[in-house]
Structure 1
Amino acid sequence: MSEKIAPWASLAARVVRVALMRKDVGYAELARRLATTFGMHEDEKALASRVALGRVRLELFLQILHVIDAEPPMLWQTAFDVATPWEERAKAVILSEIRQIPPVSIDELVARLTTLGASFTQKTLAAHVTSGNLFLPDFLRCLVILRSRSLDAFIEYRDLVSAAASTPASGD
């Protein structure tokens, strides 16, 4: 795992693990609930591995919060209350974060994500942001850029800032 990705993947894994621990849900139970609720049939070991590697999309994280009955951040509540596909809900979460004071344009957010070591080109990253198809590590980067405290129940904001400070600048 590259130097730019490792701290963010680790933080993404921690966010998911904390959510699961707070609700006392293990990977076997999570896999069962995801299969029952969404028809996702993923082996508990594969799911645990994906979480450990930080290869969780924001959409899946939102689904995890839903199936474990975790209370989402207040800012995200509207996205959870609407019966739309989960990718649309992920998009709504991203947009709700972007619209905070002061609002940030998607182009500005993408440019700043790139400096924090996001692993996609700006064009691809812009497509991921606007579609809601974003990996959780990249979403965590967004939260730092936007100075959002939405995930304070799952991770300390200073840990996100520390990861940003330790990420080599683009081109390094």
Structure 2
Amino acid sequence: MSENNAPWVGLAARVVRVALMRKDVGYAELAKRLAAFGIRDDEKGLAARVAVGRVRLELFLQILEAVDSELPTIWCSAMESAQPWETRAKEVIRCELNQIPPFSVDELASRLAQLGAGFTHKTLVAHISSGNLSLPDFLKCLVILRSRSLDAFVEYRDLVSAAHLQIVTVDNADGCRA
């Protein structure tokens, strides 16, 4: 994990842990519930995946569904569909992009690159368009879009602080700021 991605990984882990704590669900129970979605991971595997930030948006949505968490209102239409989970993740991103003012995928990818997302612009566009984002990168998107969708799980100001730290870290690495 890169140093400048550490705050995002920590926030992503916090978001998942808060979702579980709010419903009093541990990793062992989560593993059982996720099996209904075809996810074959044991409690240690899930805990490790969360801790190191290897949670994709698709899995996060499955976790929210598995623990019967209340969803952000703007995601409801995307989550109520019987579409595959990757499509639901794509639709959640689309819902976020369509807030006022609407953002294009290209514009969001450019801003993600500025936050040091670690991918080329073309790859970021592909990840956003397909819904194939990691949860840490999705959290970056929420800051860029000024979305308060996950306020029930993490304070928005903590997301903004992580963005500020990352911008300073990226700029210092480039020698732009002191």
- TM-score w.r.t. the length of structure 2 is 0.94
More deviation, 161-170/77-86: 161-170
Gaps of 5+ in 2: none
SS in 1 for 2:3: coil
The 1-side partners of 2:16 and 2:164 are apart by: 22
Gaps of 5+ in 1: none
The 1-side partners of 2:45 and 2:120 are apart by: 28
Residues 123-149 of structure 1 show CA distances to partners (whole Å, capped at 9, x for unaligned) of: 111101000011000000000000000
Write the mapping of 1:7-156 to structure 2, written as runs, cut at 5 A.
Answer: 7-35=7-35, 37-156=36-155
Q: Percent identity?
A: 70
Amino acid at match of 2:58: E
The answer to whether the aligner puts 1:169 opposite 2:170 as a matched pair is: yes
SS in 2 for 1:169: helix
Amino acid at match of 1:39: G
Q: Report how many residues are paired.
A: 171
The 1-side partners of 2:41 and 2:144 are apart by: 33
SS in 1 for 2:4: coil
More helix by share: 2
SS in 1 for 2:170: coil
CA shift for structure 1 position 39: 2.0
Runs of 4+ aligned residues of structure 1 deviating over 6 Å after TM superposition are none
The 2-side partners of 1:89 and 1:108 are apart by: 21
Q: Over the residues paired in the alignment, what is the CA RMSD in angstroms?
A: 1.0
More deviation, 117-126/11-20: 117-126
Q: Is the 8 A contact 1:79 1:92 kept in 2?
A: yes
- TM-score w.r.t. the length of structure 1 is 0.97
Amino acid at match of 1:107: D
Amino acid at match of 2:25: V
